[in-house]
Amino acid sequence: MPRSVAAHRGAVVELLTRQAARKGTEELPLLDAIGRALAADLRAPVSLPPFANSQMDGFAVFSADIPDGGAELRVGAPVPAGARPAALERGFAVPIMTGAMLPKGADAVVPIERAVPSVFPAAGAVDALVRLPATAPGTFVRDAGSDIAEGALALAAGTSLGPAQLGLLAALGLTSVEVRSPLRVLLVTTGDEVVEPGNPLVTGKIYDSNGTLLEASMRQAGLEVVRNGISDDDPAGLLDVLRKHTDNGSAVDLVVTTGGVSKGAYEVVRQAMAGEDVEFVPVAMQPGGPQGIGTFNDVPFLGFPGNPVSCLVSFEMFLRPALSEVLGAPRPRQMLPARLAEPLTSPKGKHQVRRGIIENGVVRLEGGAGSHLVHALARSNALIQVPADVTELQAGDEVEVWVL
Amino acid sequence: MPRSVAAHRGAVVELLTRQAARKGTEELPLLDAIGRALAADLRAPVSLPPFANSQMDGFAVFSADIPDGGAELRVGAPVPAGARPAALERGFAVPIMTGAMLPKGADAVVPIERAVPSVFPAAGAVDALVRLPATAPGTFVRDAGSDIAEGALALAAGTSLGPAQLGLLAALGLTSVEVRSPLRVLLVTTGDEVVEPGNPLVTGKIYDSNGTLLEASMRQAGLEVVRNGISDDDPAGLLDVLRKHTDNGSAVDLVVTTGGVSKGAYEVVRQAMAGEDVEFVPVAMQPGGPQGIGTFNDVPFLGFPGNPVSCLVSFEMFLRPALSEVLGAPRPRQMLPARLAEPLTSPKGKHQVRRGIIENGVVRLEGGAGSHLVHALARSNALIQVPADVTELQAGDEVEVWVL
Mean pLDDT of B272-285: 96
Return the SS3 of A172: coil
Structure-derived torsion over alpha carbons of residues A198, A199, A205, A210, reported in degrees to the nearest 10 = -40
Q: What is the DSSP string of A90-107?
A: TTEEEEE-TTPBPPTT--
Residue B348 CB-density burial (10 A; 0-12 exposed, 13-18 middle, 19+ buried): exposed
Contact criterion met (CB < 8 Å) for B215 and A31: yes
Q: Quick one: pLDDT band at residue A1, thresholds 50, 70, 90?
A: confident
Of A163, A372, A403, the CB nearest to B213: A163
Contact criterion met (CB < 8 Å) for B203 and A98: no
Taking CB atoms and an 8 Å cutoff, what residues of chain A touch B44? 375
| Residue A90 at interface with chain B, using a CB cutoff of 8 Å | no
Taking CB atoms and an 8 Å cutoff, what residues of chain B touch A85? 204
Closest by CA to B97, choosing from A192, A265, A306, is A265
Of A173, A174, A216, the CB nearest to B31: A216
pLDDT reading at A29 higher than 80: yes
Closest by CA to B85, choosing from B66, B60, B64, is B60
In the prediction, which pLDDT does A192 show?
87
Structure-derived torsion over alpha carbons of residues B88, B89, B92, B96, reported in degrees to the nearest 10 = -10
Phi, psi torsion values for A92, nearest 5 degrees: -110, 155
In the prediction, which pLDDT does B1 show?
81
Q: Quick one: pLDDT band at residue A221, thresholds 50, 70, 90?
A: very high
Return the SS3 of A353: strand
The number of residues in chain A equals 404
- DSSP character at residue B89: P
- The H or E element spanning position B323 is helix B320-327
CA distance B134 to chain A (A): 22
Closest by CA to B45, choosing from B200, B173, B225, is B173
pLDDT reading at B370 higher than 80: no
Contact criterion met (CB < 8 Å) for B175 and A197: yes
Q: Residue A43: CB partners within 8 Å, gap ≥ 6? A: A151, A152, A153, A154
Total H helices, total E strands in chain A: 8, 27
In the prediction, which pLDDT does A249 show?
62
Q: Quick one: pLDDT band at residue A180, thresholds 50, 70, 90?
A: very high
Most confident range, picked from A126-130, A254-258, B325-329: A254-258
Q: Quick one: pLDDT band at residue A250, thresholds 50, 70, 90?
A: low
- The H or E element spanning position A304 is strand A299-304
Return the SS3 of B308: helix
Q: Quick one: pLDDT band at residue B249, thresholds 50, 70, 90?
A: low
Q: Residue A250: CB partners within 8 Å, gap ≥ 6? A: none
High-pLDDT (> 90) share of chain B, %: 86
Closest by CA to B378, choosing from B329, B308, B289, is B308
Distance CA B353, CA B369 (A): 8
Structure-derived torsion over alpha carbons of residues B114, B118, B121, B126, reported in degrees to the nearest 10 = -60
- What residues pair up with B25 in beta bridges, in sequence order? B180
CA distance B202 to chain A (A): 9
Q: What is the rounded average pLDDT for all residues in chain B?
A: 94
- The H or E element spanning position B15 is helix B5-22
Give yes or no for a cis peptide into A235 (omega within 30° of 0): no
Mean pLDDT of B126-131: 92
| pLDDT single digits (tens) B149-199 | 999 999 999 999 999 999 999 999 999 999 999 999 999 999 889 999 999
Q: How many Cβ pairs within 8 Å bridge chains A and B?
A: 315
Distance CA A99, CA A26 (A): 35
Burial letters for A79-102: b for 16+ Cβ neighbours within 10 Å, e otherwise?
bbbbbebeebeeebbbbbbbbbbb
Q: Which residue has the higher pLDDT, B370 or A142?
A: A142
- DSSP character at residue A317: I
State how far Cα B203 lies from the chain centre. 42
The number of residues in chain B equals 404
Of B50, B164, B216, the CB nearest to A34: B216
Site from A54, A206, A224, A331 to mutate, B interface, most B CB atoms within 10 angstroms: A206
Phi, psi torsion values for A367, nearest 5 degrees: 75, 170
In the prediction, which pLDDT does A224 show?
96
Residue B306 CB-density burial (10 A; 0-12 exposed, 13-18 middle, 19+ buried): buried
Number of CB atoms found within 10 A of residue B135's CB: 21
Contact criterion met (CB < 8 Å) for A147 and B203: no
Distance CA A341, CA A229 (A): 41
| Residue A208 at interface with chain B, using a CB cutoff of 8 Å | yes
Contact criterion met (CB < 8 Å) for A170 and B211: yes
State how far Cα A248 lies from the chain centre. 31
Contact criterion met (CB < 8 Å) for A374 and B209: no
Site from A30, A46, A75, A98 to mutate, B interface, most B CB atoms within 10 angstroms: A98
CA distance B176 to chain A (A): 9
Contact criterion met (CB < 8 Å) for B204 and A336: no
Contact criterion met (CB < 8 Å) for B147 and A214: no
Closest by CA to A280, choosing from A258, A256, A302, is A302
Largest CA distance in chain A: 97
Number of CB atoms found within 10 A of residue B260's CB: 30
Largest CA distance in chain B: 97
Q: Residue A299: CB partners within 8 Å, gap ≥ 6? A: A19, A246, A252, A253, A254, A255
Closest by CA to A8, choosing from A322, A399, A342, is A322
- Give the C-alpha distances (Å, rounded to integers) separating B172 from A376, B52, B152, B156, B158: 14, 16, 12, 15, 19
In the prediction, which pLDDT does B232 show?
87
Distance CA B171, CA B215 (A): 35
pLDDT reading at A233 higher than 90: no
* Packed helices A210-220 and B163-171: angle between N→C axes, nearest 10 degrees: 160
Q: CA A28, A29, A33 angle in degrees (round to 5)?
A: 65
Q: Where are the alpha helices (DSSP H) in A132-285?
A: 163-171, 210-220, 235-246, 268-272
CA distance A282 to chain B (A): 16
Give yes or no for a cis peptide into A117 (omega within 30° of 0): yes
Domains of chain A: 5-24+181-327 (3.40.980.10), 25-47+153-180 (3.90.105.10), 53-142 (2.170.190.11), 335-403 (2.40.340.10)
| pLDDT single digits (tens) B287-307 | 999 999 999 999 999 999 999
Q: Quick one: pLDDT band at residue A122, thresholds 50, 70, 90?
A: confident
